[in-house]
């Protein structure tokens, strides 16, 4: 297939993420996706269809436009030269990966906590989680960050590389659009309960395999780093389903077992208490040092998964 990645594209995209991260000065397709979602939402809401139908059409429009534009860009660059096409594909897949920026954000909060700058840590956490954090102290902040690292390992590394390995930049970009849609309109509140339903369900479907694949990867990384891989694997299998999300609980449970910490549990969202079960119920509280350990697990897991995704893309390319 023409748009399966060449052998060097996935490693190059990953290395680019490690070197550049997510500089705000660079144009970023995900920010363009967000702008497109904001611009088009009022148009689709005016549709005479029921909200759940107009929301589904809204989701389909953005997914098809993203895939179509990416295919067009790669076709056009192929006409110029195959090297140009491969270079663009590297850049597009790089934009879908966020291991470096996730680590930077988490370690910045870790540093604030070590320096007893709790207010600044709380403000930073508020930018990366959707819950109310105004009353969070050291333990709550640490727990929120570890949960974010665990969940975004899937959203920002494992899933994008999974789809890039089997479908190149077009499929990776489609995944990123679905993930962006879910983060913006996939809420179970009055405004988006129906309009965002299709986006939320599609995101659940696309993350089903990556979330579960993450468990042995996280456990292997944990075994290499601390020898606690068996505990990580056991916690994921026994408590991974204890989450309101059909997917997020599995990487969170793997991290809970790896670090021997209690995650998830009740949280406030827009002033409303949402009761969620704990994950890692037999473990203790999260401390700032767990943020650093979580980042180490996340980065090693990312590298291990890159090797697997790279080998998969090479095999598919040879077979096809």
Sequential DSSP letters for 223-251: HHHHS-HHHHHHHHHHHTT-SSSTTTHHH
Asked whether the predicted pLDDT for residue 6 surpasses 50, the reply is: yes
Angle subtended at Cα 238 by Cα 178 and Cα 149, rounded to the nearest 5 degrees: 45
- Which is nearest to 161 in space by CA: 306, 7, 295, 318? 306
- pTM of the predicted structure, to 2 decimals: 0.93
Cα distance between residue 99 and residue 109, in whole Å: 16
- Over pLDDT 90: what percentage of the chain? 80
Each residue of 55-77: pLDDT tens digit?
999 999 999 999 999 999 999 99
Each residue of 138-153: pLDDT tens digit?
999 999 999 999 999 9
Supply 252's token pair.
């969170």
Query: Cβ of 48: how many Cβ atoms within 10 Å?
Result: 6
- Which is nearest to 297 in space by CA: 121, 155, 109, 102? 102
What does the domain layout of the chain look like in residue ranges?
9-319
Q: Which long-range contacts does 236-240 make (Cβ < 8 Å, 24+ apart)?
A: 239/279, 239/280, 239/281, 240/215, 240/279
Asked whether the predicted pLDDT for residue 311 surpasses 70, the reply is: yes
Each residue of 168-202: pLDDT tens digit?
999 999 999 999 999 999 888 888 999 999 999 99
Asked whether the predicted pLDDT for residue 4 surpasses 60, the reply is: no
Cα distance between residue 23 and residue 110, in whole Å: 21
More confident residue, 269 or 194: 194
Highest mean pLDDT among 17-26, 84-93, 125-134: 84-93
Asked whether the predicted pLDDT for residue 3 surpasses 60, the reply is: no
pLDDT band at 319 (very low <50, low <70, confident <90, very high): low
């Amino acid at each position: 297939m023409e748009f399966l990645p060449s052998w060097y594209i996935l490693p190059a995209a990953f290395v680019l993420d490690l070197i550049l991260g997510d500089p705000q000065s660079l144009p970023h397709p995900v920010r363009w996706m967000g702008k497109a979602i904001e611009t088009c939402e009022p148009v689709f809401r005016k549709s005479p269809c029921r909200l759940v139908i107009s929301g589904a059409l809204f989701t389909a429009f953005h997914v098809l436009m993203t895939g179509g534009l990416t295919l067009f860009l790669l076709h056009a660059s192929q006409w110029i030269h195959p090297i140009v096409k491969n270079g663009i594909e590297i850049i597009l897949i790089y934009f879908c990966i966020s291991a470096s920026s996730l680590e930077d954000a988490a370690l910045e909060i870790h540093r604030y906590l070590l320096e007893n700058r709790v207010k600044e840590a709380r403000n930073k956490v508020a930018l990366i989680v959707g819950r109310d954090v105004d009353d969070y102290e050291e333990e709550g902040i640490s727990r929120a960050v570890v949960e974010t690292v665990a969940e975004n390992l899937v959203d920002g590394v494992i899933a994008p590389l999974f789809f890039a390995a089997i479908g190149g930049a077009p499929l990776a970009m489609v995944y990123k659009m679905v993930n962006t849609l879910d983060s913006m309109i996939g809420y179970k509140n009055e405004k988006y309960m129906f309009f965002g339903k299709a986006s939320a369900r599609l995101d659940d479907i696309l993350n089903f395999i990556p979330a579960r694949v993450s468990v042995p990867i996280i456990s292997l990384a944990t075994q290499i780093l601390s020898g606690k891989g068996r505990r990580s694997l056991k916690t994921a299998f026994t408590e991974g389903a204890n989450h309101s999300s059909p997917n997020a609980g599995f990487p969170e449970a793997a991290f809970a077992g790896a670090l021997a910490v209690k995650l998830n549990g009740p949280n406030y969202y827009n002033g409303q208490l949402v009761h969620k079960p704990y994950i890692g119920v037999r473990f203790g509280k999260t401390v700032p040092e767990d943020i650093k350990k979580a980042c180490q697990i996340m980065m090693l897991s990312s590298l291990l998964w890159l090797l697997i995704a790279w080998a998969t893309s090479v095999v598919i390319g040879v077979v096809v």
